[in-house]
Amino acid sequence: MTIYNFAAGPAVLPKPVLEQVQKELLDYDHSGMSILEISHRSQLFTDLYADTKARLKQLMNLGDDYDVLFLQGGATLQFTMVPLNIATKHHRAAYIDSGHWSVRAIEEAGKVPGVQADIVATSKASGYTEIPQFPDVLKDTYDYLHITTNNTIEGTAYQQLPQTTTPLVADMSSNFLGQQYDFTKFDLIYAGAQKNLAPAGLTIVVLKKQLLTDPNHPKNLPAMLDYTALANKDSALNTPPVFQIYMANLVLQWLETQGGVAGIAQLNQKKAALLYNFLDSSKLFNNPVKPAQRSLMNVPFLTPDKATDAKVIQAATAAGFLNLKGHRSVGGLRASIYNAMPFTGVEKLVNFLMDFEAQHQ
């Protein structure tokens, strides 16, 4: 039976990449050593690191004014590091609240001593079924405006970026490299890698270099929480997660063969449209999100009752469609259809759901 993994992350990875990892696992680049044993001070690694960074910047269309960090700790550690490093002039940060992960980002920012985190727009009232309206009235009072570009749990995503004169910061964890944005509009982007880039254990931070040399940059931050200290050592201030960086490199190479971010985003549109069109035409299933703001990556849906939800999940699991259970905070079902989910996987899922509906009328 072919398995399709619809997990929200860690998630499905491209099959050819997994096969290459398996093939060369005992001997990386004719070194006689596994990539799992390679020193981060070796030429083998520093070459790999430079290549990975260059590929990522090229795929994002970013120039010399941006740097990339390959870190650990996930987006949750970035919730702290962002305000710690860059809420340093006004000591105030503006957050748009579009769901669960925005709330977490705001909570953690509020814990950073001396920083005030303000919610400047929220879609909480609608149950987060849309992206908040945001009329920019921030003026020069905030160090940054923070958005969550894709809301993994609620299934919404920004299709247009907010118009603002305040530096724009994004948690892009769940649609990083899966949806096309003008990445030069951001001052800082962070993303856990375990959706579209690599296995869990790697966090990407893409940021404008000028943030690293800002005169307000605080002295005496803990080294591992200091973007400048980390960038000065090419993310190898201590031992970086070598294997995840290696896998990110392979995934980026694979992404190039898919036509880069633009190419994969087009395919993702097609995959998402297939599923949303079915849900909108279904009498059993329903996606609650405002159509113009639906996520390309995470598609939550519901039946009229929990018992039927559970029945669908059970039958789907038996048929090889795995991890369709919705997040515990919202229930229902959710299909995460990241870059590595093939079109066929979505097609077969839709057929399965169609059959289920027909049989349960």
Catalytic residues: 101, 171, 195
Identify whether the C-beta of residue 4 lies closer than 8 Å to the C-beta of residue 341: yes
Cβ proximity to its own copies, 34 vs 165, nearer residue: 34
List Cβ neighbours of 281 (8 Å cut-off, separation of 6 or more).
Answer: none
Render 187-215 in DSSP notation, one character per residue.
SEEEEESTTTTSSSS-EEEEEEGGGGG-T
Q: Distance between CA atoms of 332 and 347, rounded to whole angstroms?
A: 20
- Asked whether position 115 contacts its own copies by CB under 8 A, the answer is no
CA–CA separation, 129 and 120 (whole Å): 18
Q: Does 29 bind its own copies (CB under 8 A)?
A: no
Tokens of 186: 């951001």
Nearer to its own copies, 76 or 308 (CB): 76
Query: Residue type at 247?
Result: M
Question: What is the CB-side half-sphere exposure of residue 171 using CA atoms within 13 A?
Answer: 30
Of 296-355, binders to its own copies (CB under 8 A) are 320, 322-323
Instruction: Please provide the DSSP assignment of 68-119 as one string.
Output: EEEESSHHHHHHHHHHHHH--SS-EEEEEE-SHHHHHHHHHHHHSTT-EEEE
Which residues, including other chains, have CB under 8 Å from residue 57's CB and lie 6 or more apart? 63, 66, 68
- Return the residue of 103, 221, 310, 354 that touches its own copies, per CB under 8 A: 221
Q: Which of 38, 172, 261, 302 binds its own copies (CB under 8 A)?
A: 38
* Known binding positions for pyridoxal 5'-phosphate: 75-76, 101, 152, 171, 194, 238-239
d(CA 78, CA 70): 12
Annotated binding site: which residue ranges?
41, 75-76, 101, 152, 171, 194, 238-239
Is residue 111 near its own copies by the rule CB under 8 A? Answer: yes
Choose which of 63, 135, 215, 222 interacts with its own copies (CB under 8 A): 222
Judged by CB under 8 A, which of 58, 239, 269, 317 binds its own copies? 239
C-alpha neighbours within 13 Å on the C-beta side of residue 221: 22
Size of site (CB under 8 A) for its own copies: 63
| Pattern 173-212, its own copies, x by CB under 8 A | -------------------x-x----xxxx----------
Q: Considering beta carbons, is residue 5 or 268 the nearer one to its own copies?
A: 5
Q: Tell whether residue 85 is a contact of its own copies (CB under 8 A).
A: no
Phi, psi dihedrals of residue 127, rounded to the nearest 5°: 70, 25
CA atoms of 229 and 169, how far apart (whole Å): 20
Cβ closest to its own copies, residue 198 vs residue 289: 198
Among 52-60, 86-94, 123-131, 221-229, the segment contacting its own copies (CB under 8 A): 221-229
- Chosen residue from 59, 161, 225, 310 binding its own copies by CB under 8 A: 225
Strands (E), the chain: 4-5, 66-71, 92-97, 116-122, 144-148, 150-151, 156-157, 168-171, 188-192, 203-208, 298-301, 321-322, 333-336
Distance between CA atoms of 307 and 186, rounded to whole angstroms? 43
Judge whether 86 and 142 are in contact, CB under 8 Å.
no
Site track for its own copies across 44-83, x = CB under 8 A: ----------------------------xxxxxx-xx---
108 scored as a contact of its own copies (CB under 8 A): yes
**Site for its own copies (CB under 8 A): which residue of 121, 242, 324, 349?**
242
In this chain, which stretch among 38-46, 158-166, 258-266, 306-314 interacts with its own copies, using CB under 8 A?
Answer: 38-46
**Which residue ranges make up the site for its own copies (CB under 8 A)?**
1-3, 5, 7-13, 18-19, 21-22, 25-26, 31-34, 36-40, 42, 72-77, 79-80, 108, 111-113, 192, 194, 199-202, 220-225, 237-244, 247, 320, 322-323
